[in-house]
Amino acid sequence: MSKVAVIGAGSWGTALATVLAGNGEDVYIWDIDKAHLQRMADNHENVDYLPGVKLPENIRMVMDEAEALDGADFVLFSAPAQHFRNALETALAHIREDAVIINVAKGIERHSLKRMSEIASDVIDLNRYVVLSGPSHAEEVGLRQPTTVAAASINLDMAERVQDLFMSDRFRVYTTEDIVGVELGGALKNIIALGAGISDGMGFGDNAKAALMTRGLAEITRLGLKLGAKPETFAGLTGVGDLIVTCTSMHSRNRRCGIMIGEGMDPEEATKKVGMVVEGMYTTDAAYELANRVGVEMPITETIYKTIKGEINAKLAVSLLMERDKKHEQG
């Protein structure tokens, strides 16, 4: 049995805690929102973000972060991507030097334009850092629906330790060393899901969504290859797999937010109405700037960026994409 500290008591952190507890691990959850933690402790359920999933007895909600981290073999960070840097730096003083750091945030940090592992490399040895990502809604994982993800690390031994930690008859984990591809696939699919939602909100059909997803994957892959990712990663769980689930499901916050934008709601108001962090709204900013910095053409990302910034409306966005110059599909 290992001690696992989960930093961040949102829906995904809670769902993963239930997987670990089901495997017999000793799980401690800490969150900056003490009132939220107390409600979880009182109800033994995350009524705010993952209602209907009763938490096993070997999950403990603790008010003191140092207590949660003390002696932990694994530390799982489930903070939103834009808060990962602060969460890691704050926790570091209480984390064992040989503990494995697992991150499940999907995004690119605004301003620095860094992926999550690049943020981590500023303060820890990446040989003990693992990304867990893939097509995985918290709502389904919490109900023990079959789910498959990937654990990525530059140190394959660490990825395999995380694989062993999470593997169960309902939660399957593959390993990979392509941390760049896994992180970019997980982050950028949220942008395309916003676009898929906007398309749905405007009343368009499956044809439009299929085109968005396919061409969206093409531009995700272009940026990934430019930054050193392996092309096959984007054809796997953390590429096309995560893209499919995020663009097609009502569990997807990004798609739901996009639907409201497509129906005419102001992007800021739509984000608030979702009620949880919509990572794609932040990642779009960072990806747009990153693509310009490295010279990669990403027309869908650029159009969604201009839409959520209020520079163009959804109707014009569709026209701009449909009226682009003709080109070869593999171009």
In terms of C-beta density within 10 A (0-12 exposed, 13-18 middle, 19 or more buried), how is residue 148 classed?
middle
Contact 19, 171 (CB under 8 A): yes
DSSP for 230-241 reads: -GGGGGSIIIII
Strand partners, 175: 151
Asked whether the beta carbons of 90 and 69 are under 8 A apart, the reply is: no
Residue 121 DSSP label? T
**Whether the Cβ atoms of residue 72 and residue 99 lie closer than 8 Å to each other:** yes
* Cβ-count burial 162-183 (b if 16+ within 10 Å, e if not): bbebbeeeebbbebbebbbbbb
C-alpha span between 290 and 208 (Å, rounded): 26
Annotation marks residue 327 as catalytic: no
- Nearest-Å Rg of the Cα atoms of the chain is 19
Which of 114, 189, 306, 315 does the annotation list as catalytic? 189
- Contact between 161 and 100 under an 8 Å Cβ cutoff? The reply is yes
Would you name the residues annotated as active-site residues? 189
